[in-house]
Amino acid sequence: MAPPSSLVRTARCLWHWQWLQLMGGLGPADAQGNYRRPPGAFDQLPPLPTDAAAPDGHVLIVGRSCPWAHRAWLVWSLRQLGPSISLLVVEPDPKAGRWCFQQAFEGCSTLAELYQRSGAAATARATVPVLYSRSQQTIVLSESARLIELLNRWPGATLELEPAAQAASTTTWRERLQHSVNDGVYRCGFARTQAAYDRAEAELFDTLDALDADLAAHPGSWLSGPALSLADVVLFPTLIRLELVYAPLFGCTRRTLWQLPALADWRRRFYALQGVDQTCWPEAWRRDYFGALFPLNPSGIVPAAPPLSTLVAGPAAAP
């Protein structure tokens, strides 16, 4: 027998209130219900370290599920910076809401401890990615947009991800992608109101449509021109998670990527670049998103999904 309607109404009101409290802890919002990403620590772009070329002189700390860490991981991989920057993967502790080292690192068991040891306030958000200096024994930088710029200037690599001839286009796309796509999917998922969701969702797909049209007009090109750039790097972590995470969990469902064929082909070409597949961990993405974001998925159930290999397959295998 169905419960009384009055009980259902009361339960819905209580759950909505509790949901708002939980969402407030997950991500702040403005008065209109729009998600606003909070600032982080160690976010100022420093000069290139004098010991940048020293073997194993720095450590890049990443988490497999974090798209912001993914962009730094991609630059590290594409530019083959392993000789001077070691890669260290931290694991999430969803119950405590923190990143943990699998083995103690510099005397720290959690990333929060490393932040505080490096001078961050006790209330600072300990996020990945992080670039750590072994010689200075401190965090150099943890803001992903600035970190990929620093890694692109790192010595010992020939690949240039900020080609001068494409500088203006790269900057334009990066700024638009950061707001409408990279943050855009979170603005959809963490929206507090229908109007906030509608705004974010419209901007997201308007930008994806524009990307698809631009790529269709320039077959075989990259986002900002004929050469690969940081614009491509910042788009890939979001787009590779679209069907597996952001569509089912954040409500980014207006269109599937196969309906944007030029953009789907761009993703396939990027994924085929040497080393990119080794930065992709779809099982970790889905486990951490569906398992950790309790207000969006209270059951903790991880739904079934197609293998990543089918999503990045060539046109012949597309629907």
Percent of the chain past pLDDT 70, that is, above it, reads 88
Write the CA distances from 6 to 12, 15, 49, 279, integer angstroms. 10, 14, 64, 51
Cβ–Cβ < 8 Å for 280, 242: no
CATH number, domain 58-152, options 3.40.109.10, 3.30.260.10, 3.40.30.10, 3.60.10.10: 3.40.30.10
| Residues 269-296 pLDDT 10s | 999 999 999 999 999 999 999 988 888 8
| Residues 81-91 pLDDT 10s | 999 999 999 99
Q: Which amino acid is at 43?
A: D
pLDDT of residue 292: 84
Residue 25 has pLDDT above 80, yes or no: no
Residue 201 has pLDDT above 70, yes or no: yes
Strand partners for 62: 89
Q: Angle, to 10 degrees, between the axis of helix 230-240 and the axis of helix 144-152? A: 130
pLDDT-derived band at 158 (thresholds 50, 70, 90) equals very high
CA dist., res. 110 & res. 261, Å (int): 42
CA dist., res. 95 & res. 110, Å (int): 14
Residue 134 has pLDDT above 50, yes or no: yes
| Best CA proximity match to 56, nearest among 88, 87, 83, 89 | 83
pLDDT of residue 22: 47
- The reply to whether 166-317 shares the fold of 58-152 is no
3-state SS record for 155-222? CCCCCCCCCHHHHHHHHHHHHHHHHHHHCHHHHHHCCCCHHHHHHHHHHHHHHHHHHHHHHHHCCCCE
pLDDT of residue 9: 66
Mean pLDDT score across all residues of the chain: 90
Q: Per-domain residue ranges for the chain? A: 58-152, 166-317
Residue 165 has pLDDT above 80, yes or no: yes
Q: Which helix or strand (DSSP H or E) is residue 144 part of?
A: helix 144-152
The CATH code that applies to domain 166-317 is 1.20.1050.10
Residue 125 has pLDDT above 60, yes or no: yes
Contacts for 95 with CB less than 8 Å, ≥ 6 apart: none
